[in-house]
């Protein structure tokens, strides 16, 4: 998880997978700095 610490992170979640907000929370809890997060639809 240390790989995310103090890194700038762009999150693209999948509507039919893991939502962007959930990934962003994980990334932040690992010390990452989420600069953009959205959930997209690919279907």
Decide: is 39 part of the binding site for another protein (CB under 8 A).
yes
Q: Classify residue 36 as exposed, middle or buried by CB count within 10 Å of its CB (0-12, 13-18, 19+).
A: exposed
Interacting positions 6-35 with another protein (CB under 8 A): 14-22
Shortest Cβ distance from residue 7 to another protein (Å)?
23
Nearer Cβ to another protein (5/16): 16
Burial pattern 10-23, b for ≥16 Cβ within 10 A else e, equals ebebeeeeebbeeb
Where along the sequence are the contacts to another protein (CB under 8 A)? 14-22, 38-43
């Amino acid at each position: 998880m240390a790989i995310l610490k103090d890194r700038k992170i762009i999150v693209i979640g999948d509507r039919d997978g893991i939502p962007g907000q959930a990934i962003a929370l994980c990334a932040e809890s690992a010390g990452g700095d989420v600069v953009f997060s959205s959930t997209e639809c690919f279907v």
